[in-house]
């Protein structure tokens, strides 16, 4: 019986996985093997009699033509290596563990049968960071002002929508306490429409959530980001930096924050029952790329949390409805639709005593307070909290962080701005409230993460 190695990968028709740029090679005892068969997403090799060790190496790349002022690009998007021992007296192949990992590489699934080893490469997500950095505007801002402690990876989905995801990976994920790494999926308000990777993109909105306020100690407190008009936007309140990367790093939690990138208002499969599988596939890719779970042979999805801000609350509640038995925690940053989803939230929260709901409010202050009162019989403040608890949280002297924000206003503006819930709405995603007995404050996200079981 001839001994074969069959290599396949899913979604071979994707522009991110062109067959012509799929370099798949195999060796037997270090001697190159000729191809015995090929097709889109398929390569086959015959193993010569007497071979003891077979090695597979795959380098998958994507390429795009020149676009506007961006030159033609070709970049590797995924790479794997897998070794096999020839066993059964030369009749079968058995996957050999990678000495550095102690097990088979995490991006290759191997099924062995007499005369055949089928190695399927996991290609649901690939790394498109170089493409994003070339096509998107304002990437230089992130590269210049990103702070150490996290890594941003742009992920390309090779099937389905959305086509682009981002992973914010804190250092703690490199050596997590176990193989199950938590994911927090964040839903932003609607964005621009896009149909492919190789087009003009905008990092303006992503920077707003990821980056921290101006760290220059000589700058007035958040003056550039909060109170000075950004030349790219007519509203002085639209572009507020939320410090998500800093919060992830400072919390010390091994949590990957995933950002499905909507096309307009559509988040595609990211709001469906497919979400846990997609999050698991994203973490698996990051593990295979040695971004998380280093030395563990990869990573799998542990707990799943959902977060959303403003109109991002609408897809947030859709995702919760589709995955209420899988979601552990929800962070609702002044999230639209919370009142209409009261029954859903109650069913979800009552399904597991470990689940937690964290809310911040501006527009939704009253709705959040009502939800908390109605859930009081199901959960105490350790599981359900709303910050600030009511409008008094925006009075002068109630919150040093809010007072500091308002200190940059002209006297004639202060009263009007302090009482305007459209200003509170912005504070609800980047601000914070002091804990009892504490003088300082941290952002809402950092506080929620620190108090989280993710």
Q: What is the pLDDT of residues 213-264, one digit of tens each?
A: 765 544 443 434 443 444 555 444 445 678 999 999 999 999 999 999 999 9
User: Which residues sit opposite 256 in a β-bridge?
Assistant: 183
Three-state secondary structure call for residue 132: helix
pTM recorded for the entire structure: 0.93
Bridge-based pairing state of the strands 300-309 and 180-187? parallel
The rounded distance, in Å, linking the Cα atoms of 298 and 176 is 11
Cα–Cα distance for residue pair 271/418, rounded to 1 Å: 35
**Backbone dihedral angles phi then psi of residue 365, each to the nearest 5 degrees:** -55, -50
What six digits make up the tokens of 183? 């994911």
C-alpha to C-alpha distance for 77 and 132, rounded to whole angstroms: 12
- The three-point CA angle 268-181-276 to 5° equals 25
Report residues of the chain scoring pLDDT below 50: 102, 217-230, 234-238
Measured between alpha carbons, how far is residue 293 from residues 10, 76, 98, 184, 244 in Å?
24, 22, 15, 17, 21
Dihedral class, residue 72 (left if φ above 0, else alpha if ψ from -120 to 50, else beta): beta
Dihedral sign of CA atoms 154, 308, 244, 139 in order: positive
How distant, in Å, are the alpha carbons of 141, 240, 256, 284 from that of 273?
35, 32, 19, 18
**Six-digit token pair at 238?**
């639209």
Pairing between β-strand 136-137 and β-strand 201-202 as defined by DSSP bridges: parallel
Return the biggest CA–CA distance within the chain. Answer: 88
Closest Cα to residue 333, out of 223, 432, 410? 432
pLDDT at 382: 85
CA proximity to 284, closest of 120, 54, 454 = 120
208: Cα within 13 Å, side-chain hemisphere: 21
Q: Are 329 and 302 in contact (CB under 8 A)?
A: no
Listed in sequence order, the residues at least 6 apart from 55 whose beta carbon sits closer than 8 Å to its beta carbon are: 26, 27, 30, 81, 82, 83, 84
Helix (H) or strand (E) holding 204: helix 204-210
Give whole-number Cα distances, 298 to 68, 153, 181, 240, 260, in Å. 38, 16, 10, 36, 22
Digit-coded pLDDT (tens) for 307-348: 999 999 999 999 999 999 999 999 999 999 999 999 999 999
Q: Which of 427, 422, 405 is nearest to 414 (CA)?
A: 405
Centre a 10 Å sphere on the Cβ of residue 121 and count the other Cβ atoms it contains: 24
pLDDT at 224: 43
Q: From CA 5, how far away is CA 301, in angstroms rounded?
A: 30
Instruction: Please state at what angle helix 313-322 crosses helix 342-350, rounded to 10 degrees.
Output: 40
Cis ω on the peptide bond leading into residue 351 (within 30° of 0)? no
Beta strands in 40-179 (DSSP E): 42-47, 53-64, 73-87, 92-96, 108-113, 116-121, 125-127, 136-137, 150-157, 164-170
């Amino acid at each position: 019986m001839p001994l074969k190695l069959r290599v396949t990968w899913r979604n071979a028709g994707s522009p991110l996985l062109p067959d012509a740029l799929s370099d798949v090679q195999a060796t037997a005892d270090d001697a190159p093997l000729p191809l015995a068969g090929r097709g889109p997403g398929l390569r086959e090799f015959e193993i010569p009699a007497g071979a003891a060790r077979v090695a597979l190496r795959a380098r998958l790349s994507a390429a795009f033509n020149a676009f506007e002022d961006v030159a033609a690009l070709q970049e590797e998007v995924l790479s794997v290596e897998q070794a096999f021992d020839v066993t059964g007296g030369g009749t079968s192949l058995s996957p050999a563990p990678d000495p550095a990992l102690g097990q088979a590489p995490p991006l290759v699934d191997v099924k062995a049968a007499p005369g055949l080893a089928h190695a399927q490469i996991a290609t649901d997500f690939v790394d498109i960071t170089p493409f994003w950095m070339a096509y998107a505007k304002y990437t230089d801002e992130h590269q210049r002002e990103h702070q150490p402690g996290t890594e941003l990876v742009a992920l390309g989905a090779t099937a389905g929508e959305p086509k682009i995801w981002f992973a914010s990976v804190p250092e703690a994920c490199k050596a997590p306490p176990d193989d199950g790494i938590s994911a927090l999926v964040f839903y932003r308000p609607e964005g621009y429409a896009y149909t492919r990777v190789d087009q003009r993109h905008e990092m303006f909105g992503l920077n707003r959530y990821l980056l921290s306020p101006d760290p220059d100690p000589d700058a007035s407190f958040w003056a550039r980001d909060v109170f000075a008009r950004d030349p790219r936007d007519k509203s002085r309140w639209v572009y507020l930096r939320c410090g998500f990367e800093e919060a992830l790093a400072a919390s010390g939690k091994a949590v990957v924050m995933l950002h499905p990138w909507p096309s307009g208002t559509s988040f595609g499969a990211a709001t469906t029952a497919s979400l846990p599988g997609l999050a698991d596939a994203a973490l698996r890719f990051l593990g295979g790329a040695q971004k998380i779970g280093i030395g563990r042979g990869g990573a799998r999805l542990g707990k799943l949390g959902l977060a959303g801000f403003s109109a991002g609350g609408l897809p947030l509640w859709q995702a919760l409805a589709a995955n209420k038995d899988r979601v552990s925690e929800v962070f609702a940053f002044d999230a639209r639709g919370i009142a209409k989803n009261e029954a859903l939230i109650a069913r979800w929260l009552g399904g597991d005593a470990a689940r937690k709901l964290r809310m911040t409010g501006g527009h939704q202050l009253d709705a959040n307070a009502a939800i908390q009162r109605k859930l009081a019989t199901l959960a105490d403040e350790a599981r359900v909290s709303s910050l600030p608890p009511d409008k008094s949280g925006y009075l002068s002297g109630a919150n040093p962080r809010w007072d500091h924000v308002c200190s940059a206003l002209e006297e004639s503006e202060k009263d009007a701005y302090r009482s305007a819930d459209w200003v509170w709405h912005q504070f609800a995603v980047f601000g914070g409230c002091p804990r009892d007995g504490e003088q300082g404050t941290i952002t809402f996200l950092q506080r929620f993460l620190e108090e989280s079981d993710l």
